[in-house]
Amino acid sequence: MEIKRILGEHLEANVFVVKTGNNCIIIDSGAKLGEVKKAVGKNNVLGVFLTHGHFDHATYAIEYAKEFSCKIYAHEEAKAELEDPAKNYGESFKIDTFENFLFLNGDGKLKLGDIEIEYFYTPGHCESCVCFLINSQLFAGDTLFDNGIGRTDLIGSSKEEMLSSLEKLEKLIFSTCHSGHGESSDFDRQKRNIKIFQRFLTR
């Protein structure tokens, strides 16, 4: 499996192109289409996956789906965020049509071509946060960072839900955590990170 990271246009949000064989998926959609097309190359895009509905991670989702003739996968709570600039923090950004979307609920598994994806509902930063686990690679969006967690003082945020999500993620086995902003981190570093913020949130 090959992973390419692209810095997005807003707030340096990460976009990941995850390739297996001749297939790939795209995780988040804050980078301009031209940059993503270079990373995709001649591979077949099986889907666009949103870690949550904030504008910096979702700006070009519709454009990607049209260009690559694929679906957009997001948690069902993302719809309310994507259609409301006040909730997605994008000022004028909103999505009005959801015909290309397939909405997820809870935890589960998907298989697209030869790519197997486990998804875990991890609210706390916002109501639509989802983490994706692919071949021991965890794509955590704004739930986990290299040395921190997502903010819990925004619309739809919840310290209590973040605590529950951290408890869920603490039980996962993965080799690398790829965050929605900043650098990736390894399993041991994230285990320490989770423990620190579990204590922080219960002070």
Percent of the chain with pLDDT over 90: 91
- pLDDT tens-digit map of 115-154: 999 999 999 999 999 999 999 999 999 999 998 999 999 9
* Domains in the chain, number: 1
- pLDDT tens-digit map of 38-87: 999 999 999 999 999 999 999 999 999 999 999 999 999 999 999 999 99
pTM reported for the whole predicted model = 0.95
Q: Is the pLDDT of residue 203 over 80?
A: no
Q: Which tops the pLDDT comparison, 176 or 9?
A: 176
pLDDT band (50, 70, 90) for residue 200: confident
pLDDT at 99: 93
What token pair was written down for 189? 């570093």
Mean pLDDT on 101-126: 96
Could you tell me the CA-to-CA distances from 185 to 84, 149, 181 in Å, in that order? 32, 13, 12
Q: In what order do the strands lie in the sheet with 2-7?
A: 2-7, 14-20, 23-27, 44-49, 71-75, 101-104
Which CATH number characterizes residue 14's domain? 3.60.15.10
pLDDT band (50, 70, 90) for residue 23: very high
**Domain range holding 177?**
2-201
